[in-house]
Structure 1
Amino acid sequence: MRNTARWATTLGLTAAAVCAPLAGTALAAPGNAPSALYAPSALVLTVGHGERAADATPERAVTLTCSPGPAGTHPAAAGACAELRGVEGDVTALTARNDVMCTKEYDPVVVTVDGVWQGQRVSYERTFANECVKNAHSWSVFTF
């Protein structure tokens, strides 16, 4: 039952994040239509403790919309969008920073990212050894 609730929440947040920015384009005036057209970039990010998303209860979930501009419930939306643009939306390309030292404590944290980036479906899951290691893999994307 826990997985069903997790997926229902993720799906609902994804739908809201993807559809909300698109709702405004239907009301755009014909003269403004070219500037209103864009490929959507809207993601739902979750974090929880555990080794797999299927076994972990999400502790936090945020939305991140990057097109046409940074928005959502992510606390550092502008920075996260800039980071994702830098790797062309490839979440797997976010690598550990060299300036962070973490303990070797094993307290697994799992992160999921679901949604669309420039119109392409994104689905990502990664387990980090601990919170410090998770935060070291990005400046803004995983820090929520």
Structure 2
Amino acid sequence: MRNTARWAAALGLTAAAVCGPLIGAAVAAPGAAPSSLYAPSALVLTTGHGNDAATATPERAVTLACAPGASGTHPAAAQACAELRGANGDFDALKAQDGVWCTKVYDPVTVTVQGVWQGKRVSYERTFGNTCVKDAIAGSVFAF
């Protein structure tokens, strides 16, 4: 009987030691501080030739995370994050570069964005007349 009581106590203490921290981490108290000081900003950007995302031939996809710092597979992550912050995450508000002249050859390029920008869900699609127009308008955000 004494042996059974020891095993039960040892098993109970072991379970409390292993599971106690897990339960505390999983259940946050109401009004507790958030686990991060930054709202999440993680995006997947794609580009491809075609009139829309459904028919475009995919060419490239990159990831872009902007909080707390710029990271991801985007080749110019820091510059792209700075441009998005300047536009408040509004992809339509990205500024066109001055002095860029593009041909009027129609070779549509479609870009898409899926993910989260500063804690808000983002789903964006835009078709540009050609690659030159895309690069002139979207700056480094879609330059990959």
TM category (shorter chain) comes to: 0.7 to 0.9
**Higher helix proportion (structure 1 or 2):** 1
Alpha-carbon distance in structure 2 between the residues aligned to 1:108 and 1:74: 22
Instruction: Give the TM-score of the pair, scaled to structure 2.
Output: 0.74
Counterpart secondary structure, 2:138 = coil
TM-score, with normalisation over the residues of structure 1?
Answer: 0.74
Question: For 2:55 and 2:139, how far apart are their aligned partners in 1?
Answer: 27
**Which structure has the bigger radius of gyration?**
2
Determine what percentage of the aligned residue pairs are the same residue. Answer: 73
Match of 2:66 in 1: 66
Runs of 4+ in 1 over 6 A off after TM superposition: none
Question: For 2:40, what is the secondary structure of its paired residue?
Answer: coil
Residue 56 of structure 2 is matched in structure 1 by: 56
Q: CA deviation at 1:56?
A: 1.0
How many corresponding residue pairs?
113
Match of 1:133 in 2: 133
CA distance in 1, matches of 2:119, 2:36: 15
Q: Is the 8 A contact 2:96 2:139 kept in 1?
A: no
Asked if structure 2 preserves the Cα contact closer than 8 Å seen for 1:71 and 1:77, the reply is yes
User: Displacement of 1:139 after TM fit?
Assistant: 2.5
Tell me how large the CA RMSD over aligned residues is.
Answer: 1.7
Letter in 1 for 2:126: R
Q: Distance in 2 between matches of 1:34 and 1:69?
A: 18
Alignment of 1:1-144 (within 5 A): 36-144=36-144
SS of structure 2 residue aligned to 1:137? helix
Shift of the alpha carbon at 1:142? 1.0
Identify if the C-alpha distance between structure 1 residues 34 and 55 changes in structure 2 by more than 3 Å, giving closer, same or farther. Answer: closer
- Between stretches 108-117 and 90-99, larger displacement belongs to 90-99
